[in-house]
Structure 1
Amino acid sequence: MGDFWVFGYGSLIWRPGFAHTRTERARLNGYHRSLCVHSHVHRGTPERPGLVLGLDRGGSCVGLAFNVPGDLREEVLAYLRERELVTNVYLERVLPIRLASGDGVPAVCYVVDRNHRQYAGSLGEGEAARIVHGAVGQSGANEDYVLSAVEHLEALGIRDHWMEKVARLVREPSSSLV
């Protein structure tokens, strides 16, 4: 089989962890980046879950697409499945994306399973910030995860107004978040 594309919208953008020959800005239509997954391990606990990113239905999402050589297909897919499908809150899909060059290509994407118990649903900025505030898991504070995600997106020139608003609320928590 030939080369294939992987679409990254969150940590895959700044830490893909797999070999690829090209990276290009891309847009996925029909899904948006959202803090819609309850984290019970890495950024929270079962008693005090945090939130991590998922691709949820509706809108569009700008991220990065990674071109992977066909001879690495099995290796890269095994790595991605181990990384992304630990609790099966994400579903592996091949969806059409639009590269910055204008080309439309199919890409491996990981979208949230709305029927999974970890799906947090569609949250407003304030509610998301309230859940994130104070949540801590094995990988650290949930606030650090959100702020880092926004910093990485901004460094790449990717604007996500919803995430930026959540980050502002996390940085300057009011008494209503505590």
Structure 2
Amino acid sequence: MSANTISLNRNTDQLPQDGRPVWLFGYGSLIYKAGFDYIETRPATIQGWKRRFWQGSHDHRGTPDSPGRVATLIADARACCTGLAYRVTPDVFEQLDVREKNGYLRLIRSLRLDDGSDVEGLVYIATEDNAAWLGPASEAAIARHVAASEGPSGPNSEYVLELAEALRAMGVDDPHVYAIERHLRAVLDGDNKPAYSYSQSPET
């Protein structure tokens, strides 16, 4: 699948034609940097998915030649991912489809809001068949990759640190994110920012 998913996402019938609000689930940068108008926001979970830094970013936190790493959701029946649900009007997706164009498909999934109610919502997920996919790596390797990456939206490290801080403020336990944050701070504090090679094994 092409890394650019704008046309794929816009050629769906997910959005109400009458302008009724819908729920949107955010689990990465949408948590700490919404950047769009919304009616309300509430903590929410999505069952059967886990947050992982396995997606490449050629357009925001990296470049086509040296992509950064950003979060996606990975299916895992035993997992549960906590994020924020935004109630938005359909016109918001004109902007979001562009923001999430680098490999993310807009999908309908069941969300559980903080009051225990279940609702259908939209969520952007990058799967392993997209061209920007980087795949699994150790948290230490991901941190080194992140420390060396930067794109039009800023340093890749900013994405990790801002997300970790936001999750911590929400009281979310996410060992994967916090482990990357810990390794990343060690690299940055040590002032030995690596010259990461995109071609090197992600497991090194």
TM-score interval (norm. to shorter): 0.7 to 0.9
Aligned to 2:111: 97
Alignment of 1:22-101 (within 5 A): 22-58=40-76, 59-68=79-88, 72-73=89-90, 75-85=91-101, 87=102, 89-101=103-115
CA distance in 2, matches of 1:20, 1:142: 26
CA distance in 2, matches of 1:141, 1:177: 12
Normalised to the residue count of structure 2, the TM-score between the two structures is: 0.76
Give the secondary structure class of the aligned counterpart of 2:157.
helix
Out of 126, 131, 139, the position equivalent to 2:153 is 139
Contact 2:31 2:163 in 1 (8 A): no
Normalised to the residue count of structure 1, the TM-score between the two structures is: 0.86
CA distance in 2, matches of 1:177, 1:123: 18
CA distance in 2, matches of 1:94, 1:76: 16
Aligned to 1:7: 25
Equivalent pairs, count: 172
Could you say if the C-alpha distance between residues 47 and 61 of structure 1 is closer, same or farther in structure 2, counting changes exceeding 3 Å?
same
Aligned to 2:39: 21
CA displacement, residues 111-143 of structure 1 (integer Å, 9 cap, x when unaligned): 112101211112221221121121122222212
Aligned to 1:169: 183
Aligned to 1:111: 125
CA distance in 2, matches of 1:122, 1:100: 30
CA distance in 1, matches of 2:140, 2:32: 26
- The amino acid across from 2:74 in the alignment is D
How big is the shift at 1:177?
A: 8.1
Contact 2:107 2:123 in 1 (8 A): yes
Give the secondary structure class of the aligned counterpart of 1:93.
strand
- The amino acid across from 1:51 in the alignment is R
CA distance in 1, matches of 2:177, 2:166: 12
CA distance in 1, matches of 2:22, 2:59: 31
How big is the shift at 1:60?
A: 2.0
How big is the shift at 1:161?
A: 1.3
How big is the shift at 1:147?
A: 1.1
CA distance in 1, matches of 2:59, 2:92: 24
- In the alignment, structure 2 segments of 5+ residues that lack a partner are 1-17, 195-204
CA distance in 2, matches of 1:133, 1:171: 9
